[in-house]
Amino acid sequence: MRDARQGEVVTRDLSPTVESVYSMVFPDAVQTADKFHVVTHLTKAMQDYRVKLKKAEERRERRTAKEHESKYRENAAKPASERLPMKKKYLVPRLPNGETRAELLHCSRYLLYRRPEDWSLRQRYRASLLFSCYSGLERAYTQYILFLRWYTPEAGCEKDLKDWQLIL
């Protein structure tokens, strides 16, 4: 155990508890997060953002439906000659693929786990709709993909990390 405590670098997950234990056991070591946990946290953050957008869309749809119902009742109370033509039921606007915005967000869950080059034609179309509606989600996904590509051995990240270590 004594030799292990003299290690220069230790790899760990992102738990604060593990960080404090490692700091006590390996006080002089540089702590690094392992790829699995970093990617897991990035994926979860992106999916949490997608769910937040979906819930906001669902709230907007419910609010708009209630407003429509109220306007319909007001319109129905008017004399027949003053009534505007209006459908009783509110129809949620649909995108060109037939989905509502909330449905688009719901059905895009697995799309965001994959790299663009692995998307099917249907997923490419859905991604173009998704990102045209939600530019923030597109930015988050782009950063996620850039990180994944940087973090692959083929991308030469080891050289980048060595260069950064020289700077530090």
pLDDT in tens, the chain (168 residues): 445 556 688 888 778 888 888 888 888 888 888 888 888 888 999 999 999 999 999 999 999 999 999 999 998 899 988 988 888 888 999 999 999 999 999 999 999 999 999 999 999 999 999 999 999 999 999 999 988 887 666 655 555 555 555 544
Residue closest to 128 by CA, chosen among 79, 153, 95? 95
Q: What is the pLDDT of residues 78-93, one digit of tens each?
A: 998 898 888 888 899 9
Percent helix, strand and coil across the chain, each rounded to 5?
Answer: 70, 5, 25
pLDDT of residue 109: 94
pTM assigned to the model = 0.76
Per-domain residue ranges of the chain: 1-33, 36-59+94-150
Count of C-beta atoms within a 10 Å radius of residue 141: 21
pLDDT of residue 1: 42
pLDDT of residue 114: 92
> Beta strands of 9-142 (E only): which ranges?
9-12, 30-33
- Three-state helix/strand/coil letters over 132-164: HHCHHHHHHHHHHHHHHHHCCHHHCHHHHHHHH
Count of C-beta atoms within a 10 Å radius of residue 113: 11
